[in-house]
Amino acid sequence: MQASVMRIDEFISDKRTLVIPVYQRNYDWKTTNCEKLFDDVEFIAQSGKEHFIGTFVYQHKPAAGIFQEFVIIDGQQRITSTILFAKAIYDSTDDEDLREDINSTFLKHDKGELKGKSKLRPTEYDRATFEKLMAENFDENNFNAEEKNSALYRNYLFLCEKISESPFKLKELHEAIYQLKVVSILLQDENPQEIFESLNSTGLDLTKADLIRNFLLMPLEYDEQERLYKNYWLEIEKLLRPSDNVENFLIQYLIAKRKSDAVMETKRQRLNPRNLYDTFKKFFGSNFSSAEECLKDLYRCAKFFRRCIFDDETKFDKLSALNKKFYELVYLLDANNAPIILMYLLNRYEKNHFDEATFINFVDALISLAFRAKVCKHNGINPQFAGNVLARLDRENFLDEKIFWRAITFGKGTYAFPGDKDFQAALVTNNLYETIKGHGCKYLLYSLERTARAKELPAYSEATVEHILPQKLNGAWKNYLRERNDLSAHEIFLHTLGNLTLTAYNSELGNADFDVKKKIYEQSNFSYTRALTKYDEWTSKQIQSRAKKLAEAAIKIWTLPEEFNSRSVNLSDSFNLDSDFGVFTGEKPAALFISGTEIKISGWVNILREIVRQLYMLDKDTFRQAAAARKNLFSTEPTNFKLDENFYMDTRNIDTKSCLRIAKSLAEKFDSLGETNFKDEISFTLRR
């Protein structure tokens, strides 16, 4: 390793090309970063003092002739931004001498075989945009919409704007750039990947996806890096834009491949962005013989994952029948972890393990699970559940509907597939507008309308959820309910299913009285909305009656075969640590479920004790940290609950609410310290 201090213009020498290797992240500086660079340059212009902007780490790349290529290991963001700064000055001045100086120093080679070539060669992802920016004259018409949305383009315009507003002359800003000092470090025998990981651990803003790309590509020869990057990694990035999708894909890919979201079998630490990189390295070492083999598999699965990416611009009508089901599951129902299962199914579908009609039935089953779980406040398709499902499916040589239903109905407690009784009860009694939010209610009501023999439905985007009994009662509505001795209906039934309907003209309804609303409902293209005209009045009785009718229709859409209905745990008896603890006063627990394992229990204090015991057994050091803030409960002095010879908990005189509140607090703290999701794996039932 050889280090030296130099000005930035000396580093960007006339006889060298700075190459951003394929394993580097793309240029992604924010305008705030560029503003800091601009402030530094203005400080130099004002004070005349040099300013240190960081360390540049690089390697020599073998090249023919006298021109050298420096492969930049660290510093590409600052180098690229400095060149953008210089180009912004270049395009802002009419001074030909100044333009020539900037061009030859920062922008283009001016002699020899590289004459006219840019001194910086960005990644393939950024190259086209960068070269357009380095053109002799900037012309915004040369850039497409995607290029205009890039960090390169945005930062160039930002720097141009800052230059125009600066009190300093262009020449002063140009001269100030020369006073930016760097430490250049030439790597010789050092391992560039180890350097990269060390830089990341000290604050370099690399994503876990960046680190995984580097892990796969950096050990290879440069030409091989280029080939694999272009053939696989770049294609993955293009498929999964925006870039946030890449990391999410990698997490779900690992869960699908490993059939588990656990990082280690001995500890309930779950796969997440923080431990993704280390988990991927271990997975690679035991599953692939080469980087190319791994990249091929990633690319193949990325094509599957791409079919699960949707947004508001998705053209639903243009989707295939199967992709429409994916859209309903992943986008409309927010089942963000469903692609774990869908990628696995797509892989087996490609291998002709089942036909498309069967595949659609599988997705319908997942839609039913996801929606019932959402309504009943169960876990639904979370990473742990998905891993368990795949482990069960992987034992089967072929898949049919019965096998699939058996695999997705294995759970207990909040991991259970809610049965018809639970689902109907939740639909009728729950405050759905708060539980599944407005978009969930819209999905529910629109799905009911689709199955009814209605007029042609308005587009989904045009439908809005209407509260028949309005959210804010005016004087007329209060008098209406008071005359019928039903003022409590507003508080109890406002957000329940029976009081919700679809309209395409919500703003016209507002707080209008029921008779006025009925006249508008009569013109509706929504059948369940038109049916409201049959009611003579609107009170709690009618709301409950309508809710039961809609719930009966719902279990025919989001189905569960009869033979699996008995495996559901009743919603009224199943709760978790996010439930309203106030409702448990006077009740007693029957069973505690932790990660699907049932523990018979009696008394609320025993629930607290068992949760604490489980946490302590998982990781004593982490639990002691979590318990440190509760010195009134934990001590080394013997009390009534012993965790080990030197650690005790005082569980005397703790009421129901406090037991659950303490359990929740300790589980959340434990999870935050240990990178686990233990709290989400806890549920309990009440005695009948």
**271-296 as b/e: b if 16+ CB within 10 A:** bbeebbbebbeeebeeebeebbebbe
Indicate if 185 and 52 belong to the same structural domain.
Answer: yes
Indicate if 214 and 197 belong to the same structural domain.
Answer: no
Indicate if 212 and 197 belong to the same structural domain.
Answer: no
Round to whole Å and give the CA distance between 273 and 261: 12
Mean pLDDT, residues 495-511? 84
Per-residue pLDDT band for 453 (boundaries 50, 70, 90) equals: low
Of 169, 201, 233, the one marking the end of a domain is: 201
Mean pLDDT, residues 187-197? 65
pLDDT, tens digit, 9 for 90 and up, residues 279-332:
999 999 999 999 999 999 999 999 999 999 998 888 888 999 999 999 999 999
**Least confident among 156-165, 205-214, 428-437, 501-510:** 501-510
Round to whole Å and give the CA distance between 548 and 556: 13
Q: If you count them, how many residues does the chain have?
A: 688
Indicate if 408 and 362 belong to the same structural domain.
Answer: yes
Backbone angles phi, psi at 601, to 5 degrees: -145, 155
**Is residue 632 included in any domain, yes or no?**
yes
Tell me: pLDDT of 582 over 70: no
**Is residue 644 included in any domain, yes or no?**
yes
Backbone angles phi, psi at 169, to 5 degrees: -70, 160
Helix axes 31-47, 151-165, angle to 10 degrees: 30
Indicate if 138 and 11 belong to the same structural domain.
Answer: yes
Tell me: pLDDT of 342 over 70: yes
**577-595 as b/e: b if 16+ CB within 10 A:** bebebeebeeeebebbbbb
Residue 197: partners with Cβ closer than 8 Å, 6 or more residues away = 211
**Tokens 């509260």 found at:** 467
Mean pLDDT of the chain: 88
Of 248, 274, 306, the one marking the end of a domain is: 306
Taking a C-beta distance cutoff of 8 angstroms, is the pair 328, 439 a contact?
no
Backbone angles phi, psi at 268, to 5 degrees: -80, 55
- pLDDT at residue 222 in the model: 79
Tell me: pLDDT of 447 over 90: yes
Backbone angles phi, psi at 17, to 5 degrees: -110, 130
**Is residue 212 included in any domain, yes or no?**
yes
- pLDDT at residue 658 in the model: 86
Indicate if 8 and 53 belong to the same structural domain.
Answer: yes
**Least confident among 229-243, 337-351, 524-538, 585-599:** 585-599
Tell me: pLDDT of 427 over 80: yes
Taking a C-beta distance cutoff of 8 angstroms, is the pair 338, 330 a contact?
yes
Tell me: pLDDT of 494 over 90: yes
Indicate if 582 and 671 belong to the same structural domain.
Answer: yes
310, two tokens: 């949707």
Indicate if 181 and 234 belong to the same structural domain.
Answer: no
Phi-psi sector, 48: left (phi>0), alpha (psi -120 to 50), beta: left
**Is residue 561 included in any domain, yes or no?**
no
Write the CA distances from 541 to 29, 445, 512, 573, integer angstroms. 60, 20, 20, 26
Round to whole Å and give the CA distance between 127 and 551: 56
What one-letter code names the amino acid at 469?
L
- pLDDT at residue 201 in the model: 45
Mean pLDDT, residues 545-569? 87
Per-residue pLDDT band for 203 (boundaries 50, 70, 90) equals: very low
Taking a C-beta distance cutoff of 8 angstroms, is the pair 205, 75 a contact?
no
Tell me: pLDDT of 567 over 50: no
Tell me: pLDDT of 265 over 70: no
Mean pLDDT, residues 31-38? 93
Q: Which domain holds residue 184?
A: 2-201
* 634 vs 575, more confident: 634
Tell me: pLDDT of 199 over 80: no
- pLDDT at residue 14 in the model: 62
Three-state SS string over 195-229 comes to HHHHHHHCCCCCCHHHHHHHHHHCCCCHHHHHHHH
- Residue 341 C-beta-side C-alpha neighbours within 13 Å: 33
User: What percent of the chain lies above the pLDDT cut of 70?
Assistant: 93
Indicate if 392 and 492 belong to the same structural domain.
Answer: no
- pLDDT at residue 568 in the model: 45
**Is residue 566 included in any domain, yes or no?**
no
pLDDT, tens digit, 9 for 90 and up, residues 111-148:
777 788 899 999 888 999 999 999 988 899 999 988 99
Indicate if 169 and 34 belong to the same structural domain.
Answer: yes
- pLDDT at residue 235 in the model: 94
β-sheet with 16-19: strand ranges across: 2-7, 180-186, 51-61, 68-74, 16-19, 120-121
Backbone angles phi, psi at 120, to 5 degrees: -115, 135
Q: Tell me: cis bond preceding 242? Omega within 30 of 0 counts.
A: yes
Per-residue pLDDT band for 204 (boundaries 50, 70, 90) equals: very low
- pLDDT at residue 566 in the model: 58
**Least confident among 60-64, 406-410, 448-452:** 60-64
Q: Provide the 8-state DSSP code for 318.
A: G
Indicate if 616 and 519 belong to the same structural domain.
Answer: no
Round to whole Å and give the CA distance between 38 and 32: 10
Mean pLDDT, residues 206-232? 88
**Is residue 49 included in any domain, yes or no?**
yes
Tell me: pLDDT of 570 over 60: no
User: What percent of the chain lies above the pLDDT cut of 90?
Assistant: 55
Q: How many domains does the chain have?
A: 5
Taking a C-beta distance cutoff of 8 angstroms, is the pair 414, 379 a contact?
yes
pLDDT, tens digit, 9 for 90 and up, residues 520-550:
999 888 999 999 999 999 999 999 999 999 9
Give the residue among 502, 498, 512 at the shortest CA–CA distance from 551: 498
Mean pLDDT, residues 508-518? 84
Of 185, 201, 217, the one marking the end of a domain is: 201
Which residues partner with 600 through β-bridges?
591
Indicate if 289 and 385 belong to the same structural domain.
Answer: no
* 675 vs 340, more confident: 340
Write the CA distances from 406 to 378, 380, 411, integer angstroms. 18, 15, 10
194, two tokens: 């180890």
Mean pLDDT, residues 327-353? 96
**Is residue 254 included in any domain, yes or no?**
yes
Per-residue pLDDT band for 569 (boundaries 50, 70, 90) equals: very low
**Is residue 39 included in any domain, yes or no?**
yes
Residue 252: partners with Cβ closer than 8 Å, 6 or more residues away = 305, 337, 339, 340, 343, 383
